[in-house]
Structure 1
Amino acid sequence: MIRGIKAIGEAIIKDMEDPQLDLARFLIEDLSKPRGEKGYVVILKINTDGPSLSLDIGSEFSEPSLEIGAKFLWVGKPTGANDDQDRLTTDKVEYLISQTIPNLIREDRLEGGELRSLLEKTFHTIFFDLGDGESSLFKGQHRRYRYIWDLKGLGIEDAPEPKELKEIVQESGDRKRGVKEVAKVLKNEIKSQLDIKPDDISLYTLEIDGELVAQHPDYRKYIFKRLVDDRFVNAEEGI
């Protein structure tokens, strides 16, 4: 049955110039209703030449809409408890400052191209490594907490020095400590600069070197494949 459904879908899209690109918009998720009077989409703007970080409001709304979700390609987050987070628009800033970019540039994820090159440059420019030699703290699935943004290097004065934060994490044995500390500083900076409380932020998204990366064609194709194509791999024949 699954193969039959796939065959019908293939017949529908056969005349589309770029089906993955065109159909990605149909994967948009509904936004949650704001907790307060208004909800916000916050854009984290990274300039890799410097580097530096600036903040902006991408959208302000009283009622959520699919148009807002489509603008920032909000497709929800992976549902499995142990799934790697790989969304460039997310409701958890903790993912963006840690595992999203490292996951996307793994060998089995984004194909080579303009976006992958940009994300690799970003990784080598703004992330630092909390790991220490043969420490088992970040092995296996726990690697997701190993690399985080260097907010101090991005110009946030209240952020901890990378060396200081690394020592705290290693001494405490709390692999999540680094992400928590950096997220706390970033949320405080957003509140200070934009006058927005964390509870009022519905989504966070990334702009890198002037480009809203969630709308990059390479990412839209990746999301379509990740959410749709992979579900049909090794599908069993039905009645």
Structure 2
Amino acid sequence: MARARPDSPPLFEIIERPDFSVETRAISQGIWPVAGMDEAGRGPLAGPVVAAAVVLDPQNIPDGLDDSKRLSFEQREALFQNIMASALGISMASVSAEGIDATNILRASLEAMRRALCGLALRPKLALADGRDVPPGLPCEGRALIKGDQRSQSIAAASIVAKVMRDRMMADCGRRHVHYGFELHMGYATARHRAAIEIHGPVARLHRTSFAPFRLGAVEIAEG
């Protein structure tokens, strides 16, 4: 007789943390180096999509690695410094708003990850990509891991590097284009950002004009 499911909710939520098990299995099969890849900035209305590729040192993995979205600003900054100091290989790349508009955000994200991987000083034998898709044109075997930044420490490290670098780029955009508040919302469609677009228009080469609300009607591009 089948046991009935309990109808009471769990007392607490179990949050899974990434580990090094996927990488360890690859190492046991003679597959090394292993790189993690992830991107930041798929959803915003402005700015590039930024990707990172990271090869962690199995003997010196920073404590606290996790999906960058589950970390505070202070945690990301501290882990970014630890990753930069301890990883065997780190590379970053981006695709601009113009590049995103010329293709689409999925292709641009995969291309950014491919460029980041190809920029590593050491050549990995396996690349782990966050999501459902493996970037085309990789110089090594690639595997896609759904929710990879919550499963693989290498991908989590890449997600942190990509997020921190993109946030810094958008903060710089905020200093250059003071009406938009990019340093606060990082290009996402907040009420403040939408209001600034209504008043000042989109910024050439920075706003993604293939995204709503731009593609819903004709807009005047503000040079700056």
Normalised to the residue count of structure 2, the TM-score between the two structures is 0.29
Higher helix share: 1
Normalised to the residue count of structure 1, the TM-score between the two structures is 0.28
